Amino acid sequence: MNAQQARSIIEKGGFVAILRGNYTGWFTRIAQALIDAGATAMEVTFNSPNAAEGIREVRGQFGDAIMMGAGTVLNVKTAEIALSAGAQFIVAPNTNPDVVRYCAERDVCVAPGAYTATEVMTAVDLGATLVKLFPADLGYFKNLRGPLNQVPFVPTGGVELTNAADFIKLGAVAVGMGSAIIGDYVKQGDGLQIMQQRAATLVQAIRAAKQK
């Protein structure tokens, strides 16, 4: 899968479900619930236990049914480990030129984090496939995107179920959501079912927003 194919899948689904925390033993169950909800992309952050193993497990069981990404990739070594585990896109909270170039040279979808206009355009010039606006604020995003409407933004951090569609309406190609969609509650009782329902509601809201 090349960078543009991965970007298209992320844009089609409109959101990336982010797993940050200890989900050892839960990766495939969470992935199944997300697939059933209509999600297209899932990210495991590399400051989480057994991140590489989680990516490998999901890819092994589901193949391309849901696209797997690696988050909090702060250096090239981590990118190498993530891609070896089967990650299909790379995400970071910052813009590390070495990581962006490493991915761009291999035609791997990479979404470095940026906040200011200068940071955003630095990421673009380095070859970023997408730009993770981090942290995200609706009013700030509206003002930033005004002069930078050619940039494929994925706002993350500050995106909630109540405002995700608003980011899409303002021009975001997708949003990233962690605890707002996946939290420790999934490990308790009917938590997986609750998460699936929340994800399905989000999918519908984003689809509606993209049609306007």
| Catalytic residue annotation | 43, 132
Q: What is the DSSP string of 124-157?
A: HHHT-SSBEESS--HHHHHHHHTTTTTS-B--BS
Instruction: Tell me the C-alpha distance between 208 and 136, whole Å.
Output: 21
Look at residues 82, 81, 141 and name the one whose alpha carbon lies nearest to residue 114: 141
Angle 11-153-26 from CA coordinates, rounded to 5°: 60
Note whether 56 and 81 are within 8 A (CB). Answer: no
